[in-house]
């Protein structure tokens, strides 16, 4: 199907401001307060006031488990700021964390709102406490052994596979098998992130890391070692999506949403997706390029999800920035994805080194770079076309941003 430009209504939306709360491993702060800090910062950054906000969108909405996964829901923020919204939405079942931003684009494009406040808030660092990730695994404590697995967890918990680390490791392993991908190649995602986090004042792990450090770290679930896994943290990120007509005279030049990718063509499952060497992001990535005249070669910067290192490689392939199966050689050595390379990647340190802000951290960073407000870690070249991608497994979405 060929789309005419008028049907690609995300182009009537722009990112106009971003904000972030304090970020840390265990801040011990009220997660709603962190959320509101990020929201107020984004509104101010856009040059708006709270009264201008007439829409709200968030991922995933209120959730009691896993602990710390959702710091605030839509109603919490609408009520705390006494917002009057023409449209609002939250939800988990969407095209990744950025699905909430896509929803906001469609809402402003359709006239339901002018300025939508979008946010993602986590406090997994504090919620997991000193016990680490194992403390939040289902059935891992306090239930007297009577816990039974149901829903989709019944297909992996009985096999002692409670973590996405294991589920995604099996995708990576298949990729290694089919394409000869190596841990030394995959390491570049982690090493690049650590190098960039050193220049990010909010980075969580800022000490230098070498290939030897990476390879010597304890294994979690092969082929993932400790440094292939992101760092749970506390923090909130907010983004303002504005109707393009209302975006022109604000504080920052509008970052137009040129195209989005939201597709899901395979089974929405961690173990039933037909091609285990790829992920459903393959479909979202492909779809994005059907909605724009830009080509993968035009992308000057990529901010792509790294909940686990291999997910970033998967996104590089999904977005067509290299061939299928070629992400290993593509990132080998790390020069290409460095801040001063051909395709600067995760310039804030990603979730691996700057904390698991869960998807929105990448959009925040893309905007800061395209506005040239990234301080010490600013990409040397001018970036007018940037790609942002978030999610893994069955929940994936991507955006192409353009600064005209």
Partner 1 sequence: MSTSSVVPFRILPRLTEQNREFWQGGERNELRFWRCQDCAYYIHPPQPLCPMCFSKNMGVEAVCGDATLTSFSINYQPWMPGPELPYVVAIVEMVEQPGLRLTTNLVNCPIDQIRCDMAVQVIFEHHEDADGDIWLPLFEPRHLAKNEAS
| Among 316, 262, 364, CA closest to 15 | 364
Which of these segments, 38-46, 102-110, 170-178, 306-314, binds partner 1 (CB under 8 A)? Answer: 170-178
Interface with partner 1, residue 66, by CB under 8 A: no
9 burial class (0-12, 13-18, 19+ CB within 10 angstroms)? middle
Residues 254-273 that bind partner 1 (CB under 8 A): 270-272
67 in contact with partner 1 (CB under 8 A): no
- Residue selected from 28, 138, 180, 201 as contacting partner 1 according to rule CB under 8 A: 138
If we measure between CA atoms, which residue out of 264, 239, 236 comes closest to residue 95?
Answer: 264
**Would you count residue 137 as binding partner 1 (CB under 8 A)?**
yes
Binding partner 1 by CB under 8 A: which of 155, 286, 294, 299?
Answer: 155
Structure tokens of 349?
A: 């340190």
- Kindly report the number of other CB atoms within 10 A of residue 33's CB atom: 16
Site string for partner 1, 174-213 (x = CB under 8 A): x--x------------------------------------
Tell me the C-alpha to C-alpha distance, in Å, between residue 350 and each of 193, 212, 253, 328. 6, 20, 25, 18
Instruction: Tell me the closest approach of the beta carbon of residue 71 to partner 1, in angstroms.
Output: 24
Q: Which helix (H) or strand (E) holds 46?
A: helix 31-46
Contact (Cβ atoms closer than 8 angstroms) between residue 181 and residue 309: no
Applying CB under 8 A, does 219 fall inside the site for partner 1?
yes
Q: Is 173 in the site for partner 1 (CB under 8 A)?
A: yes
Q: Is 165 in the site for partner 1 (CB under 8 A)?
A: yes
- Should residue 133 be labelled a site residue for partner 1 when binding is judged by CB under 8 A? yes
On the CB side of 226, how many CA atoms lie within 13 Å of its CA?
12
**CB count in 10 Å sphere of residue 366:** 28
Give me the least distance between CB of 55 and partner 1, in Å please.
36
**Paired strand residues for 177:** none
Contacts (Cβ under 8 Å, ≥6 apart) of 341:
335
Least distance to partner 1 from the beta carbon of 158, Å? 5
Contact between 169 and partner 1 per CB under 8 A: yes
Cβ-contact 356, 124 below 8 angstroms: yes
Question: Nearest distance from residue 377's CB to partner 1, in Å?
Answer: 31
- Block residue for tokens 């494009």: 109
Kindly state the number of chain residues that form the binding site for partner 1, as judged by CB under 8 A. Answer: 42
Interface ranges with partner 1 (CB under 8 A): 133-134, 137-140, 147-150, 152, 154-163, 165-167, 169-171, 173-174, 177, 218-224, 270-272, 274, 276
């Amino acid at each position: 199907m060929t789309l005419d430009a008028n049907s690609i209504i995300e182009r009537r939306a722009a990112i106009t401001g971003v904000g972030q709360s304090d970020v840390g491993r265990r801040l011990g702060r009220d997660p709603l307060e962190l959320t509101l800090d990020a929201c107020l910062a984004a509104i101010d950054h856009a040059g708006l006031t709270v009264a201008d906000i007439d829409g709200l969108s968030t991922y995933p909405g209120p959730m009691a488990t896993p602990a710390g996964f959702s710091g605030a829901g839509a109603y919490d923020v609408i009520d705390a700021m006494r917002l009057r919204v023409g449209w609002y939405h939250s939800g988990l079942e969407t095209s990744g964390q950025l699905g909430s931003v896509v929803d906001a684009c469609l809402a402003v494009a359709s006239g339901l709102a002018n300025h939508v406040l979008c946010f993602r808030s986590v406090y997994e660092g504090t919620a997991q406490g000193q016990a680490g990730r194992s403390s939040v695994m289902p059935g891992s404590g306090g239930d007297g052994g009577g816990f039974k697995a149901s829903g989709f967890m019944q297909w992996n918990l009985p096999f002692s596979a409670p973590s996405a680390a294991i589920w995604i490791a099996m995708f990576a392993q298949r990729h290694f098998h089919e394409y000869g991908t190596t841990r030394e190649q995959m390491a570049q995602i982690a090493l690049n992130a650590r190098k960039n986090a050193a220049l990010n004042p909010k980075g969580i792990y800022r000490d230098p890391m070498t290939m030897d450090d990476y390879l010597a770290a304890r294994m979690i679930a092969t082929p993932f070692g400790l440094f292939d896994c992101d760092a749970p943290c506390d923090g909130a990120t907010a983004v303002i999506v504005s109707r393009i007509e209302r975006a022109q005279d604000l504080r920052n030049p509008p970052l137009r949403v040129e195209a989005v990718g939201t597709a899901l063509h395979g089974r929405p499952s961690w173990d039933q997706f037909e091609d285990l060497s790829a992920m459903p992001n393959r479909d979202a990535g492909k779809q994005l390029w059907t909605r724009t005249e830009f080509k993968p070669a035009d992308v000057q910067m990529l901010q792509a999800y790294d909940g686990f290192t291999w997910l970033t490689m998967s996104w590089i392939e999904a977005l067509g920035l290299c061939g299928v199966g070629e992400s290993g050689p593509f990132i080998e050595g790390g020069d290409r994805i460095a801040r001063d390379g051909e395709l600067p990647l995760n310039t804030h340190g990603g979730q691996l080194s700057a904390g698991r802000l869960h998807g929105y951290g990448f959009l925040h960073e893309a905007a800061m770079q395209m506005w040239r407000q990234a301080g010490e870690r600013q990409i040397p070249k001018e970036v007018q076309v940037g790609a942002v991608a978030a999610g893994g497994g069955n929940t994936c979405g991507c955006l192409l941003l353009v600064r005209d």
